[in-house]
Amino acid sequence: MQTDLSWSPQVRSLAISIGLALASSQSLASSLGTMIRPQAFKATADRLISNNVVPVISCADDGSAGTLRDAFTNAIDGDTIDLSGLTCSTITLTTGALVDSPAALNVKLLGSGQTIDGADSDRVISHLGTGNLTIQQLTIAHGHHTTAGGCIYSAGSVTLRRSIVSSCHVIASGYYDAAQGGAIFAQGGVDVYDASTISDSSANSEFGKVEGGGVWALDHVRVRASSISGNSAFSPIGYSRGGGVFAYQPNSNLLGYTVAVTRSTISANSATYGGGIFADHVSVLYSTISDNIATLDGGGILAQARAGAFPFSNLCLNGTISGNRSGQNGGGLAIQTGEALVMEYCTITNNHSQKGGGGIFSSGTLGRFNSVIIAGNDSTLVPSGGDLGGTLTAVTGEKNLIVASTIFVPMDTINSPPLLGPLQANGGTTFTHALMPGSPAIDHGGNREFAAYDQRGHGNPRVVGSSADIGAFEFNDHPSPSVACVLPSQIFLAGTTSTDGTTDVVAIDLSKLFLAPTGNSLSYSASGLPIPPLAIDAATGMLTGTLGSGDAGTTTATLTATASPAGTSATQTVRFDMLSAQDHIFRNGFDLQPQPCQ
C-alpha cells in the first residue's frame, strides 16, 4: 500500500532538493527516513512524483526542475501536475507550447486559479496522448496557432473543470489552409464542466474551411453548468461553421447527441453556418442559446445530419433560444434534411432571419412539440413563417403557443402573443424570459415528462396552479425563496470543558442558504434553537453564539427565510449536537467535514 505525502511547501522544497542529489528512489526514501515508503516515490535526476502527483514549485519557464515545462514534457500516463502551491498568479510561456509524450495518455493539470499564458506566440498546450487531458481550476490564455487549437490541442479528449480558456486564435498561414478550434481542438471529445468558460477566441482563414471558433471536436462536446461565449469562425471568401462549437461524428451510425448542453449558456458567437453550434445531433437541456449570429443558416444552432446517418432527433427540454440572427434561414435554429426535432417546455423568441423561419427553420423529417412557445420571432422575406417555417409539412404534439407558422401545427395550439418579459436573470444559473401576468401561456401547458422544475431548476417547480405553463418559465405570483445550499443534517458543537480548553464561537450565515425570489428581500428566523447560546439576526441571517462549559445536549432547529412582499417562505432543518468533551476534533464549532454553505 502506498503512503500519501502531503505536499506542503516545506516538504516540496526538501523533496526536490534531495531529488536533484540522488538518482534512485530507494536512496531517496532512505534519506527521508520514515516520512514515506520507497514505493510512494518515482524519481529521476530532475523530477519527483508522489503517487503520480508532480508538484510545480517554480514560476519560471526555462525547463529546469520544478517548472511546469519540465513536469509536462516528462509526464507519464496518469500524472497529475499540481500548480496549486505556486505563489505566482501567472506562468508566461517564453519557449513555445508545452508538449508531452504520446505515451502520456492521461494527464491532469491542477491549479488554484493560476493562468498559463501563451503570450500570443504559440499554442499553449499540445497533448499528444490519445487519452484525456484534464484542466482543473486554471486559466489558459493568449495562445496562437496556424492550423488547429489556438490554446489547446489534444490527440485524445479534453476536460475542463472550473477553468477558463480565453483569447485564443487560429489564423491559417496560407490562403487555402483550414483553421479549426480557435480555443480547443480535440481528436476525441471535449467536456466543459463546473462553471468553466470558453470565450473570446477565433478561427480564421482567407479561403480555407473554418470550423469551431471556440471548440472543434471529432467526437462529442458536453457543456454542463458552463458557458461558451464571444467566439467566432470567420472566412471572408470561404465558409465557416460553428462559431462557438463544431462537432461532427465520423461514425454515421453512432447513437447519442454529438453536442449536449445542460444548465449552460451559449451566447454571442458567430459563423457562416451555426453561429452558436454546428453539429449533427444537439440537445439543449435547462440551457439558454442567445445572441449568436450566422451570416447564412442557423443563428443559434444548425443541426445537419451526415449523408446516410442514422435517423436521430435533436432535443430541447426546458430551454430558451433567444436573440439569435441569421442571414438566410433559421434565426434561432435550423434543422436540415434527415434530422428530427423534439421540444418540451422550451421558449423560442426574439430571433430573426432574413429568408425563412425566424425562430425555427426545419427541412427535417419530424417535429414533435409539447408545451413550447415559438413567438415574437420574425423573418424579413417570409413574415408568415416568422416563428416557424421550412419544408416540413406538419408538427405533432399538444399545448403549444405558436403564432406565425407556414407549417401545420396541432389543433389546440394557441396563436396569441405570449406576453414575455426580457431575457434576464430570473433565478437559476441561466437567463430566461418570464411570463407576464395575463399571459395566455399560464396554466395552459402540460408536463408529459414529469419534470420537477422549470428551466431555472431547484426551487422553481414546473407546475404551479391548476396546470403547468407553456414554455421554459413557470409563472408564480407568490414565489418562494429557493434553497441555494443545503446544510448537513447534523452539526456538532463543543463547549469550554473540552480537552483543549477553548471556547467555540458558532457562526452560520443563513443568507448563503436561501435565495430571494426576484423583486423580494428576505428576513430570517429560527425555532428550536438551544437557548442559550445561539441567536439569530433577523435582518442579516447570521446565527451566532458562544458555547459555555455547561452547554451540552441535542436539539433540532428549523431555520426559515421569509420573502417580502410575497409573504412566502422556505425552511431547512438541522440537528445541533453539543458535545462538551470532544472539542479536539472540531474547529470553530464545526465538524471538520466540509461545510459547503460557509
HSE-up of 267 (CA within 13 Å, CB side)? 15
pLDDT for position 26: 34
pLDDT for position 272: 96
Over 539-592, what HEC string results?
CCCEEEEECCCCCCEEEEEEEEEEEECCCCEEEEEEEEEECCCCHHHEECCEEC
Over 93-121, what HEC string results?
CCCCCEECCCCCCCEEEEEEEEEEECCCC
* Contact of 129 with 106, CB cutoff 8 Å: yes
Kind and range of the H or E run holding 519: none
Q: Which residues contact 510 (CB under 8 A, 6 or more apart)?
A: 524, 536, 541, 542, 543, 559, 561
78 C-beta neighbours (distance < 10 Å), count: 15
pLDDT for position 44: 38
Backbone angles phi, psi at 560, to 5 degrees: -125, 135
Q: Measuring CA to CA, how many Å separate 577 from each of 83, 490, 525, 588, 590?
A: 39, 7, 20, 14, 10
pLDDT for position 566: 76
pLDDT for position 309: 55
Scan for cell 432547529, then name that residue. 557
Separation CA 280–CA 276 (nearest Å):
14
Kind and range of the H or E run holding 446: none
Of 397, 325, 333, 392, the residue nearest 365 (C-alpha): 392
HSE-up of 407 (CA within 13 Å, CB side)? 28
Of 326, 335, 344, the residue nearest 389 (C-alpha): 335
65 C-beta neighbours (distance < 10 Å), count: 18
Three-state DSSP class for 29?
helix
Separation CA 351–CA 348 (nearest Å):
8
- Set of cell numbers at residue 408: 401545420
Separation CA 121–CA 142 (nearest Å):
8
Separation CA 80–CA 445 (nearest Å):
49
pTM: 0.79
Of 341, 382, 383, the residue nearest 362 (C-alpha): 341
CA 582 from chain center: how many Å? 41
Burial of 368 (0-12, 13-18, 19+ CB in 10 A): middle
pLDDT for position 35: 25
Q: In b/e form, how buried is each residue of 419-450, taking b as 16+ CB within 10 angstroms? A: bbeebeebbbbbbbbbbeeebbbbbbbbbeee
Q: Which residues contact 217 (CB under 8 A, 6 or more apart)?
A: 184, 186, 188, 189, 190, 245, 246, 247
Which mean pLDDT values do the consecutive 10-residue runs of the chain (598 residues) have? 32 31 31 26 42 92 97 96 96 97 96 97 97 98 97 98 98 89 97 97 94 96 97 91 90 66 97 96 96 97 74 84 97 87 96 96 89 97 94 93 96 97 92 96 92 89 92 88 73 50 65 80 85 78 71 77 84 74 38 42
